[in-house]
Structure 1
Amino acid sequence: MDAITTTDGETVYVSRDEARTGSKDPFFVVYSDESGETRYGYYCEFCERIDNAMDSMGRIECNVCGNIRKPTEWDAAHE
């Protein structure tokens, strides 16, 4: 895993083995510990940031570049 530093000065770890497809580039799972036990969030490969949001249907959107991962759950009731 690759160690990166957040804007708060915290070290987190990007797992390049756990990718989620994005519209521009993949998102990688980020952990707060090097052993990969505590999930922190996602890393956007396109802009190299961890500033993103995930909704209840599994959609991830990068707040910096607009890279988007489509929802993992969807049905007509969500329209």
Structure 2
Amino acid sequence: MPTDRDAVETPRGETVYVDRAQAERGAKGRFYVAYTAPGTDHKWGFFCGNCESADNAMDTMGRIECNSCGNVRKPDEWDAAHE
């Protein structure tokens, strides 16, 4: 299990561990997978590589949006009825 993850602080003061080898493509930059501990598979969420922020949200369709810079990842599934 990898332990070479960057420790970052979330807006709530939690420490999460960012794995820069695992990323999702966003419009302005990558979203990196963040974990609850350095040597675990338990995902915490995503970290915005564009503005280096952990303040982002993911909806039920897999769309990720950074609340700090507006970086966005398109949803896994898309349906015109959702617009």
Q: TM above 0.5, one fold? A: yes
| Structure 1 residue matching 2:11: 3-state secondary structure | coil
Q: CA RMSD in A?
A: 1.3
Partner of 2:42: 38
Unaligned residue ranges in structure 1 (runs of 5+): none
Which whole-Å deviations, capped at 9, do the CAs of 1:10-61 have from their partners, x for residues lacking one?
A: 2210011110000000000000111132111100011100100111110000
The TM-score with structure 1 as length reference comes to: 0.89
Partner of 1:71: 75
Q: Determine what percentage of the aligned residue pairs are the same residue.
A: 57
| Structure 2 residue matching 1:57: 3-state secondary structure | coil
Provide runs of 4+ in structure 1 moved above 4 Å: none
Unaligned residue ranges in structure 2 (runs of 5+): none
The TM-score with structure 2 as length reference comes to: 0.85
Count of equivalent residues: 79
Amino acid at match of 1:13: Y
